[in-house]
């Protein structure tokens, strides 16, 4: 069996992408092991999920640190200890700062629920809905110091012509899971 790549997932909330990626890793669909969940919200569902799945997590609260640089230094040391090669952001609600970016440059990817460069930032699905688009989507991109502006790796579109935010969110989530798994697989198989 070929060696498994070590991945960290950063998430702050529900964790449906975390669950999909971890399930794919356990099933051998991607040549990876989820070595660490990094989460900034102790009450998030994703923390419980990681526990149930037996995945180690580092849960922190930004307010326990003097600065972003301080908590990111701690994250970097945890990532190094776990020999993480690739960081996948999946609903991580913090902006990645200099400490993390410089330590893992070119090895941090994010999933965003819109067809970038449209609808950057928070509430992307709501923004698209308010604009009245009929084609929604998801984008996976490298993370740099810009807001949702790093080089695009993969995108997928989904048509929706209705007015239920729940319905369109569910559609986007299901394409996100597939797209994230396929993209991670492609990136890891290249290495």
Query: What is the set of active-site residues?
Result: 112
Cα separation, 38 vs 182, whole angstroms: 22
Of the candidate spans 26-34, 50-58, 98-106, 111-119, the one that interacts with ligand GRF by CB under 6 A turns out to be 111-119
In the complex, the smallest distance separating the C-beta of residue 85 from ligand GRF, rounded to whole angstroms, is: 21
3-state secondary structure of 183: helix
SS3 37: strand
Instruction: Please identify, among the stretches 79-87, 105-113, 155-163, 182-190, the one whose residues bind ligand GRF according to the rule CB under 6 A.
Output: 105-113
Unique residue bearing structure tokens 């997590």: 57
Q: What is the DSSP string of 80-148?
A: HHTT--EEEESS--S---HHHHHHSTT-EEEEESS-TTSS-SSSHHHHHHHHT-SEEEEEEEE--SSSS
Which residues 147-176 are close enough to bind ligand GRF by CB under 6 A? 176
Q: Does 113 bind ligand GRF (CB under 6 A)?
A: yes
Q: How far is the CB of 54 from ligand GRF (least distance, A)?
A: 19
Using CB under 6 A, pick the residue from 5, 7, 16, 35 that binds ligand GRF: 16
Q: Which residues bind ligand GRF (CB under 6 A)?
A: 11, 13-18, 90-91, 111-113, 176
């Amino acid at each position: 069996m070929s060696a498994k790549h070590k991945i960290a997932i950063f998430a702050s909330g529900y964790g449906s992408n975390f669950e999909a990626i971890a399930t794919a890793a356990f099933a051998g669909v991607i040549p990876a092991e989820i070595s660490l969940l990094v989460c900034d919200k102790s009450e998030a569902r994703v923390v419980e999920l990681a526990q149930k799945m037996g995945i180690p997590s580092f849960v922190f609260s930004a307010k326990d640190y003097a600065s972003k640089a301080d908590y990111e230094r701690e994250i970097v040391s945890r990532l190094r200890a776990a020999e993480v090669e690739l960081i996948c952001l999946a609903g991580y609600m913090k902006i990645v700062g200099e400490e993390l970016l410089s330590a893992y440059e070119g090895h941090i990817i994010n999933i965003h629920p819109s067809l970038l460069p449209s609808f950057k930032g928070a509430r992307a699905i709501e923004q698209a809905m308010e604009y009245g688009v009929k084609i929604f989507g998801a984008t996976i991109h490298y993370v740099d110091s810009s807001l949702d502006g790093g080089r695009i790796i993969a995108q997928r579109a989904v048509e929706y012509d209705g007015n239920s935010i729940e319905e369109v969110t569910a559609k986007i989530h299901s394409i996100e899971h597939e797209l994230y798994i396929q993209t991670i697989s492609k990136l890891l198989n290249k290495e």
